A and B are shown apart, each in its own frame.
Chain A
Amino acid sequence: MGIITRNFANNLTTSGILKPSAFNNDSFDNVTSIPTGSVDSGSLKFISSQTASSANIEFTTGLDSTYKEYIFYFNNIHVAGDGDNFQFNLSSDGGTNYNVTKTTSNFRAQNSEGGSTLFSYNTGRDEAQSTGDQVIGTNLGTGNDEALCGYLKIFDPSSTTYVKHFVCTTQTNNTNNISEVTFVAGYANTTSAINAVKFLTSANAIQSGDIVLYGIN
């Protein structure tokens, strides 16, 4: 006790104010909230992060009425099969089924490492009242340095009045050494709440990468 008392005294100023040495990061382990306005925590609220370890990445919790907008960020999604597409689907039953009807558009801009360019609507990668998976990245390469990054935003997934709009942009170096940016948008044509999202490839597993879910306050 004597040693502690002396060391504690060393952590006080002569006015009895606690000095920085009185605290370390462990001291605040039990503080889970702070007064409103004391720290600007921002409006981008981390909800969860998943690292690829199986065929699919599913978010079955955290999508609710807490936020009006949710964002999934894709960080270096690396596929197991050369030429696989990266895609997603939605669920209104907590992830039991991923088969929500969607109408979407899809276009892309390409520039190959050799300088060949393309800017076009991506027919065959869109959906017209389809329950199929929505492609958001095509012909991904499996080279050690090849991956996909981007985001998917879903607006007001818990609405039971309106269809659910989403927008998505991804960037990848595809299997043909092409830089490709893909723009997808559309709506889940349902008034049921969307409460789960699955990310997967068209054929093989997601070998590595992580997906982070945020809510926008």
Chain B
Amino acid sequence: MKSSVRSLILFVLFLSSCKPLPPFHQNTMPNDSGKIAKAINKISLPSAGPANATGEALVIFQGLNPRTAVAVAAGTGKILWKQPTPNAISRYVVAGSHVVYLDRTTGLTALDVRTGKQTWSVPMRAQHTFMGVSGAPNGKVAYVTNFKPAGDPLNQVSTLTILSEGGKEIWSLEANGRMGLPLMTNTVVVVPYRNQHLVLLDTSSPRELARILIPKGEVRFMTASSDGIFFGDKRGMYRLSPDIVDVVSRAPSTMTTDIHNVEFRYALDRYDPVTTDYSAYEVRSLLATWIRGKAGAALYENRFVIHMFKYFLGFSVNEKSQATLQWAVMHPYTEELIGSKAQKDFVFYAKADGSIECLRVATGERVWRTEPLDMRMRGVTFDIAGMTPPSSSEVEAPAPLLDALTAIANDPDSRYPLAKRLAIDALAVVGGAGVGRLIKMLTNPESSAELREKAARDLIARPDPNGVPLYLSLLQQPFDFIKSTRPLAVEVMATVLGSLKTKEAVPTMLQLLAHPATSQKELVALTEALLAIGDKGIIRPFREFLLAYRADPAFAQDIHALQKMAEALFKLGGPAERQVLVFLTEDERTLPRLREYILRMFTESRKPQPAKP
């Protein structure tokens, strides 16, 4: 009897262990090449045109107050319909014949893409966090919610739900772990899962088609076009292909640039709940059209645009994936940008006033614009695949690159320090900024501190002998309270002239040295520069200065200039100067630190020099 019971238990255990895993399970084995190939074949990529059912390029704005969906014909900028959506708490997503969004009260809500009228709504599950919604051209919708029991992030459960075009639930699956915002196609939904997985599921039935494990990275960004599905993280992008298992073991397609502070945010982060709604992330991205390349993902025409708030920077990429900045465009303070999208040769972007503009990716020219709508907008969704801007006679060329970068760096708008830093770094890399431009940057009162510092660094690093007249002209500006003038950039100019050993600068620099309005820091720079030039003409002014201020308590804290002058007298002077130095050491009124310095100088000079090998 006992043995039969034991056998029965073992049999039940055996049966339970052989039970197949549910359709979406955390332990499903990834990287089955056969399954992946079949799943990819099943994907119907988006067509080269817009995803909405009208077939026309559409731009859906979200009005600010009250929140209103405003559909605009992208080609003309004319309003097609308006629909109040006062409780909208997500971005609008185009799915075939609908525009879908999350409503705070009714849940997931669909508007007719032709009229804007509400067609259906689906309530959200209580206590679930909405992670985003994605639509397919055939009208199917996928959305993900996340549930953390008692706020526990370790045991969170994600739910993926597929709705039909009419809003009926086709299927819904739960899985332990975190899912990101899915990417929906007509036949397959691609779900980022637990950071490193990409799961492909059938949209018609709850069936996992394939799973890909990205061993060295994450799936943060995803985008689809008629050329494929592209995914990746900040390291770069992959193209989903049958050999993806091999591809992901290699480095992704990416670009590098010598410019610091360039953020490679290839798309919205699919795991970040902030991106479910419109936010500042819309205007901090890398704009490019991804296409199929020899090694997977590639950039259309090897170009991309960095969009940072109200600034655009256009790059070209060479065969070594090195990106070079080609142009920069800045918008005035009054213009607030709310979203942008790359479409092959063009970048389309929308402003808060409801107007749409277009830049040519290759040159930065503004080739097209629409009139503002009399509404304040907070966000925008583009459905403009395949769109080219109507030909316009009003083409506006961008400012020369250096001018544009300088303008960005000097922009009095203090909201975007990151963009300014990027522009300053870009100025350093772009180079070619002549002495005149650097001096202008240095002396312009509107220049930011960072820009001035950068210009100073460049001038000191690359002193140009041809710029001497310009350097001297800055130092020769008179100290004049009435005219509000004074010598400009004294420290930098003195350092540059010192490194160039410009003897004709000595009289000007000596005049500055003797002037009472010269600051302590400027004194130090002038002294060091004059010492570097090594002209004997400095001996008398240095001696007079040293004697005049040797006992002045104003120099007690910052004695460097006096010490340097003593050093200069010691090096360049004769017996008379030695006598002066001896007097300084012997007179008790001399500042103690100066006395010590001179004494040390004397002591060290008496030490025997080591023999040269």
**Are the chains A and B members of one assembly?**
no
Give me the interface of B with A, judged by CB distance under 8 Å: none
Give me the interface of A with B, judged by CB distance under 8 Å: none
